Structure 1
């Protein structure tokens, strides 16, 4: 057990494993999905709440999986400069972290039973694929995060699927009978897809910062993240490109005439985003990038709140 492990209580260790600072990635898509549903007159509070609880459980379960698998596979070492990993540092035994991972995903499945009742077969398929992908991100014979697919995973599941899924279950609750076998009309829309892109982009940027920070140690450990594959310059270009996408979508919504100028509220966060981007573009140390990672999470939360508010108003 490391010196760190002797100074941290068990409760603190489990909080570190759950990584509550990543929960904006679970809340943001629900906030945006609710904002669009209110705009469309399709807000349904109970399905929206269940969508958030399910998303949060999948996020935490994925965090447990990442902590456990990266430790047992030797990806996390003492040279790592990021936040403390509880399995690698000896704070919590590996078997307990593994059980917590499966228990959390099981709870997500239980919440999903209600969402399947509301949304039918499409939600069952999406839910099972989301849980399987959460495990496969760091585990299994072909871990996504170790083969350059982590960014795509986050973009799709914590962005597009999460926002569209939140909108879908609310719309299905009002427009369709329970346990539908198909996709009811009006539940999957182009606007829902477009609204998901800013969340997908900034959520991906959280991972980009993480992988830029860990690029050298991941390379040494044989973990081939996208940052390891493409290097610092392309990873930083990805960060800037994702930020641009997150601001282009509100501008498109306004220019399309479907929303008023208030949908441009997310542009208020541009100065903050520029400051964080400045750090990502120039730094590689954990001392600088750990705060940048947290600030990217805060940017996701504020941007999503303002975007949802703009759609509502």
Structure 2
């Protein structure tokens, strides 16, 4: 079946909205963290940092575009859908244009990846290629990852520890278990963004036959799981400090606890998607605040122990 959408000249604001800028922090915060970790080995290659940051943002933006394209093709999005870019269903941009732009972003990221590999290791190409494949299959394919209970796991793993460790590796040429353990806390919070999205979309996803984790658990238990994920992220970070594995300065992340409490409370008792948008925003903000505080803690810890 052909898809026909009335064409329009999209403004810069439309294209910006297509990339869902509120989600992009999940792509650049891990790069900040991985780079801050590399400081402990007195390593900071600015061009590699910029390249990794750009590639990560490009892949995240492409992921959002592919998600919008396939959700439209499958009939999941319409002009009344909450929390989408709406470039296709509300702004009249051709679905093919959105898909092709996503592919172009992927190609730009691959080109940058070649430079990164030339400056570090070609093993990075294997992990990077897998990350792009997961990014695409998150929304594409006969059984998209986003339609399964594994969405939170894949998004948390590849946008958390994988991005952080790639960033750390290309700067230092090594991996350390200490920082891998610390990166798990960030992965948990990125997975929580995915879970919050699925809690909001639970009813609509259920109607379209999806089997997300939120659907399997039900909204009340999914909200409890969200709170447990927040708690685990903080416990892991605090435990690593008390075990002497990472600098005590990373305890700055405790200042983001009020945002975690706010996100859970904003979900409780809500059933309509638009009512849960503030909770979703708070969850995304928690990841950003936590990640920036963690970065600051690592940087301060490096300079105070130099």
Whole-angstrom CA distance in 1 between matches of 2:7 and 2:95: 17
Report the equivalent of 1:129. Answer: 130
TM, length-normalised to structure 2: 0.90
Q: How many residues align?
A: 295
1:295 and 2:286 correspond: no
Q: Secondary structure at the match of 2:88?
A: helix
* Structure 1 segment 29-108 matched on structure 2, within 5 A: 29-78=30-79, 80-89=81-90, 91-108=92-109
1:195 and 2:182 correspond: yes
TM, length-normalised to structure 1: 0.88
Moved more, 99-108 or 202-211: 202-211
Cα 1:78–1:226 shift into 2, 3 Å:
farther
5+ residue gaps, structure 2? 1-5, 302-306
Task: Point out 4+ residue stretches in structure 1 off by more than 6 angstroms.
Answer: 5-8
Question: 1:283-311, CA deviations, whole angstroms, 9 ceiling, x for partnerless residues?
Answer: 23233322222222222111111112212
State the 1:79 CA deviation: 5.2
Report the equivalent of 1:283. Answer: 270
State the 1:147 CA deviation: 2.1
Q: Secondary structure at the match of 1:282?
A: coil
- The 8 Å contact of residues 65 and 101 in structure 1, kept in 2 or not, is answered as yes
- The 8 Å contact of residues 32 and 195 in structure 1, kept in 2 or not, is answered as no
Greater RCO (CA < 8 Å, at least 6 residues apart):
1
Q: Secondary structure at the match of 1:87?
A: coil
1:151 and 2:149 correspond: no
Cα 1:8–1:93 shift into 2, 3 Å:
closer
- The 8 Å contact of residues 83 and 290 in structure 1, kept in 2 or not, is answered as no
**Alignment RMSD, CA only?**
2.1
Whole-angstrom CA distance in 1 between matches of 2:140 and 2:7: 28
1:268 and 2:281 correspond: no
